[in-house]
Amino acid sequence: MLGKLVGPLVLGVLIASAALNLWASVRFFFSLRELYKLQAWVQYINSTQTAARSLVSDSVEYARQHPSLDPVLQRFMKAGTNPVPPQAAAPSNPGR
């Protein structure tokens, strides 16, 4: 009698394992697809952020040469913020 139950029991475990593996595979597939969408979105955001920082940096540099642009920049930037980090001063060699 015990021998008659082993076959169906093993078959039941095999079917349950197959169903669990199918569920995990489908979940992995959709998670991976969502990950690729998010990676594309992050790349878009990073490129937009880089372009915006470049625009701000170029605007500040242009304003240094053309002071008439300062009122326009002050209207869009908060007081006291420095959008461009200060560059390290080049060491001067007075002996040369």
What per-residue confidence (pLDDT) applies to 66? 85
User: Residue range 16-33: average pLDDT?
Assistant: 98
Residue 91 has pLDDT above 60, yes or no: no
What per-residue confidence (pLDDT) applies to 78? 67
pLDDT digits (tens, 9 = 90+) for 37-84: 999 999 999 999 999 999 988 988 888 898 888 888 888 776 545 555
Enter the tokens of residue 30. 């959709």
* Prediction pTM value: 0.54
Q: How far apart are CA 22 and CA 88, in angstroms?
A: 58
